[in-house]
Structure 1
């Protein structure tokens, strides 16, 4: 996916390994951090799927120094940006980014995590990526561990903001496999992997945080 299909990113030339910038990150990072403070374990490893520019990973690693932060992204340009941001701040609890494709959880190069975070991926990827994310999270997380999703969603019996309707239309025009998902569809898919939706929290700019907890592992 080249930068022409990512109008939400700005920054230096990827040929120079430059940092990318997602303007929404600055607007939503503090609200997300406040909710993460209520959700994450006190210590352990947080795996971020689809870290994008890397700005969230840097901010949250700074906010939660007792947690180890592991960003990831399938896109080498994104990983270069994550590395550039991380090198600038040199935080001891922020690991180098992994190459992870959410849609291929069997190939994830990690065996366990204490929490998983995924921001603004579900609507900008095929449904297979969400299913892969849920399956991968089920393999990695222990019982009770959180899976935290953030982004715009449709909800039953809740009127959708006109801006989200327009956003959904623009995404589907760009790629027919993209688009806002229904919360109940994500909840059902998560339940099939052993997760329970514990909280749905309204966030800035008509976004939602979906907080799941891993149930008991079979057997």
Structure 2
């Protein structure tokens, strides 16, 4: 059965995100938190064949879509099936093999469609799983100095809060503060198309 989902944003941003990843990914496994449809996962697995891209999502419909994409792209022998990870249910249940080969963690367009507690949990668990020098990358919109970087982000933020008043675009400085609590420093922030950013955090302890 074909359970593939199609998220239009993936087609627009996967190449530019891949360009950022290409400068950082070197070996081992990458864990993606909140993989959604799975379109990013299979694209990055094909672009970076030397690594193992491990997807995850708490939603069964999304995990079925990811599995369908893995099969559709003929990656069944290379790419593991998605893990059921709810970022707030800690500790995350991940295979020992993944824990031993983990090189970095990526989360794309997740924290603004989640409560702040999810951001806290993301850094807390990532800080436990990653070793010194390894990376955590966040992609999506951010406020800078508590101000939106565009008018479209202002309206987008309001639309998110109408769906759930605990959702919304996060303030970059607050996210950075949370990273420091868990042994990370903000290595780089990269301007991306459509008023998004790729923020690279590196484990220092």
TM-score under structure 1 normalisation? 0.88
* Matching residue within 15, 19, 35 for 2:4: 19
Q: In the alignment, does 2:161 pair up with 1:176?
A: no
Deviation at 1:108, TM superposition (A): 2.7
What is the number of equivalent residue pairs in this alignment? Answer: 200
Structure 1 Cα separation of the partners of residues 79 and 159 of structure 2: 34
**Aligned match of 1:31:** 16
TM-superposition CA deviations, 1:85-108 (whole Å, max 9, x none)? 001112243210000011123143
Structure 1 residue ranges, 4+ long, deviating more than 3 angstroms after superposition: none
Q: In the alignment, does 2:62 pair up with 1:50?
A: no
**Aligned match of 2:93:** 108
Structure 1 Cα separation of the partners of residues 146 and 140 of structure 2: 18
Q: In the alignment, does 2:177 pair up with 1:188?
A: yes
* Matching residue within 121, 139, 154 for 2:143: 154
* Matching residue within 94, 101, 124 for 2:79: 94
Further displaced range: 152-161 or 67-76: 152-161
1:159 and 1:172, CA in 2 relative to 1: closer, same or farther beyond 3 A?
closer
Structure 1 Cα separation of the partners of residues 155 and 162 of structure 2: 11
Structure 1 Cα separation of the partners of residues 163 and 146 of structure 2: 28
Q: Which runs of 5+ in 1 are unaligned?
A: 1-15
Deviation at 1:159, TM superposition (A): 5.6
Asked if the contact 1:154/1:180 (under 8 Å) is kept, the reply is yes
Q: In the alignment, does 2:118 pair up with 1:129?
A: yes
TM-superposition CA deviations, 1:51-83 (whole Å, max 9, x none)? 000000000000000000100000000000000
Asked if the contact 1:168/1:180 (under 8 Å) is kept, the reply is yes
Structure 2 Cα separation of the partners of residues 167 and 52 of structure 1: 19
Asked if the contact 1:49/1:102 (under 8 Å) is kept, the reply is yes
Structure 2 Cα separation of the partners of residues 118 and 66 of structure 1: 20
Q: Secondary structure at the match of 1:154?
A: coil
TM-superposition CA deviations, 1:119-139 (whole Å, max 9, x none)? 000100111111111111111
Q: Which runs of 5+ in 2 are unaligned?
A: none
1:181 and 1:157, CA in 2 relative to 1: closer, same or farther beyond 3 A?
closer
Structure 1 Cα separation of the partners of residues 43 and 73 of structure 2: 10
Asked if the contact 2:143/2:169 (under 8 Å) is kept, the reply is yes
TM-score under structure 2 normalisation? 0.94
Structure 1 Cα separation of the partners of residues 166 and 148 of structure 2: 23
